[in-house]
Amino acid sequence: MEPPFVKTHLGEINLCDLLDALREDEVKSILSSFAFVGYYTISSKLISVDPSAVNSREAKKLREHGVYDVSKKIYMITSIQTGDSAEISKNHHKIM
């Protein structure tokens, strides 16, 4: 009997949830039956912005969604990134 969260069409499952619900050998058996499995990651990156690099409208947005570090004299904001693991590690430096 298949677990209720295994779909016969395109779907999304969390491997951690799958491992919590089943034994590892059962998870391997389920994953081996997929014709195509894609993996992606969600990560965050702290971005620092020099106040002299932005105009007043952009500074207002940075204050709304980030913080100003008084000691470093920079705005800091978190960026959420999604992609496959190789893509994230390869392009992580391009955000700066």
pLDDT band (50, 70, 90) for residue 90: low
Backbone angle region of 51, left / alpha / beta, with phi > 0 → left and psi within -120 to 50 → alpha:
alpha
Q: Are residues 14 and 51 in the same domain?
A: no
pLDDT band (50, 70, 90) for residue 11: low
pLDDT at 88 exceeding the cut of 80: no
Q: Are residues 12 and 51 in the same domain?
A: no
Spatial distance between the Cα atoms of 79 and 95, rounded to a whole number of angstroms: 9
34 closest CA partner among 1, 5, 3, 7: 7
Asked whether 54 and 87 are in contact (CB, 8 A), the reply is: no
Q: Are residues 56 and 15 in the same domain?
A: no
Domain that holds residue 9: 1-38
pLDDT at 95 exceeding the cut of 60: no
Structural domain count of the chain: 2
Note the pTM of the prediction, 2 decimals: 0.46
Q: Are residues 46 and 63 in the same domain?
A: yes
